[in-house]
A = this chain, B = another copy of it.
Amino acid sequence: MSISETPPRTRRQAAPDEAQQTRKEDALMVNSVEKAFRVLSAFGRQHQTLSLSQVASETGMDISSAQRFTHTLNKLGYLRKDAQTKRFELTARTLDLGYHFVRSSRLVDRAMPYLMHLSKETEETINLTVRDGTEIIFVSRFLSRNVLNTDVIIGTRMPVYCTAPGIAMLSRLPEDEAMAVIDASDLKPYTASTVWQRDALREKIRQAAAQGYATAFEEVYLSDASIAAPILDHRGQPEGAVNIAVSCSRFSREEVISRFSSLVVATAHAVSRI
């Protein structure tokens, strides 16, 4: 049979101006993927359900795109559409990705038994966190019976600069890199106790480097105290942190340090691969 008779004529491109900006800037980028994630991220505490037009306005897409992506994500099972109200909501399937991550993470693998042990030994809340730019992400969590804070869950992000795990990780980076993270952060006080000024933070990082652990007392949430130590990979680079979180009402600053510093440091060291 005859194959395409289309003449091999090169078609003229229109408007090469803004073309360069987006199009040829990154030839391998598949933009639809970003848009799909943009739609999914539009949902949250503030937007438990969204109508089609809300999705459009929240994501800055036109109605046609919103239609296409909600349809696609609905078909893939990440979005459910209420037949009655025509509103969309996220489904539990969105947990799949994170599940794959946790299952594939060597760090989590190695850390888990030590975290469990630390949890039993202290009966306090234990967290495993990693850094993503200027934020830490909670990856694994063992809750204490004492304080059950449901605001922090797996996947929660917090600024590096005002958390014990964040400072602990920075303390094992070359100082200029650590300060680059600080400088990229949107520094501001969350509470009266938040350490948020550049030089105070540098001092805090140096101290953490010297001691091998970092602390944060009521820097994000009132009555929350935290002590953390960095986990190092085989190159000595920080790849995460272990921390113990307790209520300020139950321990003084000195008690937190005397009781828990050597435990977190030991745990973090055991998980490290240096």
Contact = CB atoms under 8 A, between A and B. Distances in A.
Interface residues of A, number: 72
A91 interface: yes
Given A12-B3, A95-B139, A139-B95, A116 B33 contact: no
A28 B14 CA distance: 26
A156 B37 CA distance: 22
A69 B100 contact: no
Nearest to A155: B99
A266 interface: no
A184 interface: no
A100 B94 contact: yes
Copies in the complex: 2
A6 interface: yes
A222 to B, nearest CB: 20
A4 interface: yes
A189 interface: no
Interface string A61-84: 000000111011101111000000
A97 interface: yes
A101 B94 contact: yes
Interface in A34-53: 34, 36-37, 40-41, 43-45, 47-49
